[in-house]
Structure 1
Amino acid sequence: MMATPRTHLLGPWSASSQEHLALVILHYAFPVVVFTYYMISSAVAFCTLQAASTETRSARTRLLQWLLFSVVITYLAHLLVFVSEFLVTRAIELPQDTIIGLLSCILVYGVVYIGSVRANISTWYPYIGPIWLALLAEPVIAGLTILTRPTGTPVSFQLGHVFTVAARYAILVVIVSIYHGIPCLGRPMRASEAERQPLLQKEAGVQREGNSAGGGTSGHGSVSEDSSDHSQIGDTAESSHERRDREAEERMKQRLKEHGNWLAYAKSFMIFFPYVWPVNNKSLQLRAAVVVVCLLASNVLNLLIPRQLGIVTDCLDDASHCNPWTQVSILTVLKLLASPAGITLLRQWLWLPIEYYSEQAMAVAAYSHVLNLSSDFHDSKSSSDIMTAISAGSSISDVLESLCFRALPMFIDFAVALIYLSVTFGPYEGFITIATATMFIHVASYTIAALKGPRRTYVNTWYKEHYVQQAGIQGWSTVACFNQIGYEESRYKEVAQDKVDKTVAVNMIYYLAHASQYLTTLCGLLAGLLLAVHQVTTGRASSGQFIMLLTYWSQLVSPLSYFATLGKTISKNLIQAEQLLEIMQTKTSVVSREGAPQFEFKGGRVQFKAVGFSYDRKKDILKDITLDVSPGTTVALVGQTGAGKSTVLKLLDRFYDATEGSIEIDGQDIRDVDLSSLRAQIGVVQQSPILFDDTIMNNVRYGNMAAADEEVFAACKAACIHEQILGFTDGYNTQVGERGVKLSGGELQRVAIARAILKRPAIVLLDEATSAVDTDTEQKIQEALRFLCRGRTTLIVAHRLSTIINADRIVVIDKGQVAEHGSHDELIRAKGKYAELWAKQIFTKPRDTELTPIGQELETGQHTQTDGQSDSQTNNPTATSTSG
Structure 2
Amino acid sequence: MIHTRRAQTALHYLTPIATAFYFLISRAVASCFLQQGADKQPKRRWRLVVVISTGVILTFVAEGIATAHETMAHPSTYLPQDYVAYLVLMLLVLGALALNLADDAKPFWHTYAGSWAIALGSEIALLVCCLVSAAASDVFAKIHLILQSLRIGLLLCAATAGAYFAWSDSRRRIMLEESDDTIDSLLASGEDSDESDENAYGFDEETSPDEVEDLRDLRKQQLRRVKKVGSWFNYLKTYKTFVPILWSSGNRLVQASLVVAILTIAAERALQVLVPMQLGALSEELAVGAGNGQMPWRSIGLWMLFAALNSQAGLPMVQEIIKVPIMHYTRQRIMTAAFSHIMNLSMDYHNQKSSGELIRVVELGSELQELLDFLCFNVLPVFTDLLVALVYVYFLFDIYMALIVFCTCLTYAWIGAKVSVWTARLLRDYNTTMVNESRIQNEAISCWAAVSQFNRTKLESERYSMAAADHRKAAIKYYLAWSFGGGAQSFAMNAGHLAATTLAAYRVAQGYAPVRKFVTFAAYWLTIEIPMYEVTYSVRKITQMLINSERLLELMTNKPSVVDAEDATELVVKHGEVNFNNVDFAYDPRKPTIKGMSFTAKPGQTIAFVGETGGGKSTTLKLLYRYFDVNAGRIYIDGQDISTVTLESLRSAFAFVPQDPVLFNYSIRENLLYARLDATDAEIEAACRAAALHDKIVSMPQSYATTVGERGVKLSGGELQRLAIARAILRDAPIVLLDEATSMIDAETEALVQSALKNLTQGRTTFVVAHRLSTIRHADCILVIKDGQIVERGSHEELLRAGGMYTSLCQKQYMEVNKEPLFNL
TM-score normalised to the size of structure 2? 0.89
Is contact 2:585–2:594 with CA below 8 Å preserved after alignment?
yes
Counterpart for residue 216 of structure 1: none
Question: How far did residue 101 of structure 1 move?
Answer: 2.0
The answer to whether residue 272 in structure 2 is matched with residue 302 in structure 1 is: yes
Of 66, 71, 75, 2:51 maps to 66
Counterpart for residue 561 of structure 2: 589
The answer to whether residue 776 in structure 2 is matched with residue 804 in structure 1 is: yes
Question: How far did residue 748 of structure 1 move?
Answer: 1.9
Of 125, 135, 138, 2:120 maps to 135
Of 414-423 and 562-571, more deviation after overlay is shown by: 562-571
Going from structure 1 to structure 2, the CA distance change for 1:145 and 1:317 (only over 3 Å counts) comes to farther
The answer to whether residue 148 in structure 2 is matched with residue 190 in structure 1 is: no
Question: How far did residue 541 of structure 1 move?
Answer: 2.1
Question: How far did residue 406 of structure 1 move?
Answer: 2.9
Is contact 2:112–2:162 with CA below 8 Å preserved after alignment?
no
Of 73-82 and 776-785, more deviation after overlay is shown by: 776-785
Structure-2 separation of matches of 1:333 and 1:162:
56
Is contact 2:389–2:527 with CA below 8 Å preserved after alignment?
no
The answer to whether residue 335 in structure 2 is matched with residue 355 in structure 1 is: no
Alignment of 1:209-248 (within 5 A): 240=210, 242-243=212-213, 245-248=215-218
Question: How far did residue 476 of structure 1 move?
Answer: 6.7
Is contact 1:685–1:766 with CA below 8 Å preserved after alignment?
yes
Counterpart for residue 41 of structure 1: 26
Counterpart for residue 227 of structure 2: 257
- Code of the aligned partner of 1:386: L
The answer to whether residue 255 in structure 2 is matched with residue 277 in structure 1 is: no
Question: How far did residue 466 of structure 1 move?
Answer: 4.8
Counterpart for residue 172 of structure 1: 155
Structure-2 separation of matches of 1:478 and 1:607:
60
Structure-2 separation of matches of 1:612 and 1:730:
49
Counterpart for residue 190 of structure 2: none
Is contact 2:585–2:631 with CA below 8 Å preserved after alignment?
yes
Is contact 2:739–2:770 with CA below 8 Å preserved after alignment?
yes
Alignment of 1:100-111 (within 5 A): 100-111=85-96
Structure-2 separation of matches of 1:401 and 1:283:
17
Alignment of 1:327-342 (within 5 A): 327-342=299-314
Of 667, 674, 687, 1:695 maps to 667
Structure-1 separation of matches of 2:166 and 2:655:
74
Structure-2 separation of matches of 1:31 and 1:406:
29
Where 2:287 maps in the other structure, the secondary structure is coil
Going from structure 1 to structure 2, the CA distance change for 1:32 and 1:188 (only over 3 Å counts) comes to closer
Structure-1 separation of matches of 2:127 and 2:640:
89
- Code of the aligned partner of 1:764: V
Question: How far did residue 84 of structure 1 move?
Answer: 2.3
Where 2:50 maps in the other structure, the secondary structure is helix
Of 732-741 and 639-648, more deviation after overlay is shown by: 732-741
Counterpart for residue 117 of structure 1: 102
Deviations 1:819-846 (A, max 9, x none): 1112222211211001111111112599
Counterpart for residue 707 of structure 1: 679
Question: How far did residue 465 of structure 1 move?
Answer: 4.4
Counterpart for residue 427 of structure 1: 399
Question: How far did residue 799 of structure 1 move?
Answer: 0.9
Of 96, 111, 123, 1:126 maps to 111
Counterpart for residue 790 of structure 1: 762
Taking every aligned residue pair, what percent have the same amino acid on both sides?
A: 35
Going from structure 1 to structure 2, the CA distance change for 1:778 and 1:497 (only over 3 Å counts) comes to farther
The answer to whether residue 349 in structure 2 is matched with residue 364 in structure 1 is: no
Is contact 1:603–1:631 with CA below 8 Å preserved after alignment?
yes
The answer to whether residue 523 in structure 2 is matched with residue 551 in structure 1 is: yes
The answer to whether residue 682 in structure 2 is matched with residue 678 in structure 1 is: no
Q: Which runs of 5+ in 2 are unaligned?
A: 184-202, 820-825
Of 443-452 and 729-738, more deviation after overlay is shown by: 729-738
Counterpart for residue 857 of structure 1: none
Counterpart for residue 146 of structure 2: 163
Structure-1 separation of matches of 2:253 and 2:788:
59
The answer to whether residue 520 in structure 2 is matched with residue 542 in structure 1 is: no
Of 26, 44, 47, 2:11 maps to 26
Counterpart for residue 641 of structure 1: 613
- Code of the aligned partner of 2:101: S
Is contact 2:211–2:217 with CA below 8 Å preserved after alignment?
no
Is contact 2:334–2:369 with CA below 8 Å preserved after alignment?
no
Of 794, 797, 817, 1:822 maps to 794
Question: How far did residue 72 of structure 1 move?
Answer: 0.8
Is contact 1:53–1:120 with CA below 8 Å preserved after alignment?
no
Is contact 2:109–2:163 with CA below 8 Å preserved after alignment?
no
Alignment of 1:376-775 (within 5 A): 376-468=348-440, 471=443, 491-492=463-464, 494-775=466-747
Going from structure 1 to structure 2, the CA distance change for 1:667 and 1:189 (only over 3 Å counts) comes to closer
Structure-2 separation of matches of 1:308 and 1:550:
12
Structure-2 separation of matches of 1:38 and 1:198:
27
- Code of the aligned partner of 2:35: Q
Question: How far did residue 241 of structure 1 move?
Answer: 6.0
Is contact 2:427–2:478 with CA below 8 Å preserved after alignment?
yes
Question: How far did residue 491 of structure 1 move?
Answer: 4.8
Going from structure 1 to structure 2, the CA distance change for 1:696 and 1:467 (only over 3 Å counts) comes to farther
Deviations 1:426-458 (A, max 9, x none): 111111111111111111111111122122223
Is contact 1:198–1:257 with CA below 8 Å preserved after alignment?
no
- Code of the aligned partner of 2:326: I
Going from structure 1 to structure 2, the CA distance change for 1:150 and 1:323 (only over 3 Å counts) comes to farther
Going from structure 1 to structure 2, the CA distance change for 1:760 and 1:238 (only over 3 Å counts) comes to closer
Structure-1 separation of matches of 2:597 and 2:527:
75
Question: How far did residue 814 of structure 1 move?
Answer: 0.8
Is contact 1:291–1:351 with CA below 8 Å preserved after alignment?
yes
Question: How far did residue 788 of structure 1 move?
Answer: 1.7
Counterpart for residue 70 of structure 2: 85
Question: How far did residue 802 of structure 1 move?
Answer: 2.0
Deviations 1:687-734 (A, max 9, x none): 111111122221122122222333323322322333333444444333
Counterpart for residue 224 of structure 1: none
Deviations 1:333-367 (A, max 9, x none): 11122223322333334443333222212222222
Going from structure 1 to structure 2, the CA distance change for 1:514 and 1:51 (only over 3 Å counts) comes to farther
Structure-1 separation of matches of 2:568 and 2:159:
69
Is contact 1:766–1:797 with CA below 8 Å preserved after alignment?
yes
Deviations 1:853-880 (A, max 9, x none): xxxxxxxxxxxxxxxxxxxxxxxxxxxx
Is contact 2:401–2:503 with CA below 8 Å preserved after alignment?
yes
Structure-1 separation of matches of 2:434 and 2:710:
30
Is contact 1:308–1:331 with CA below 8 Å preserved after alignment?
yes
- Code of the aligned partner of 1:67: I
Structure-2 separation of matches of 1:739 and 1:195:
59
Structure-2 separation of matches of 1:179 and 1:152:
37
Of 344-353 and 519-528, more deviation after overlay is shown by: 344-353
Q: Which runs of 5+ in 1 are unaligned?
A: 1-15, 182-186, 206-226, 232-236, 848-884
Question: How far did residue 196 of structure 1 move?
Answer: 7.3
Going from structure 1 to structure 2, the CA distance change for 1:671 and 1:99 (only over 3 Å counts) comes to closer
Going from structure 1 to structure 2, the CA distance change for 1:573 and 1:51 (only over 3 Å counts) comes to farther
Deviations 1:756-812 (A, max 9, x none): 122122221111112143222333322222222222221111111122222222211
Of 493-502 and 252-261, more deviation after overlay is shown by: 493-502
Going from structure 1 to structure 2, the CA distance change for 1:395 and 1:731 (only over 3 Å counts) comes to same
Is contact 2:117–2:156 with CA below 8 Å preserved after alignment?
no
Of 70-79 and 312-321, more deviation after overlay is shown by: 312-321
Structure-2 separation of matches of 1:805 and 1:687:
19
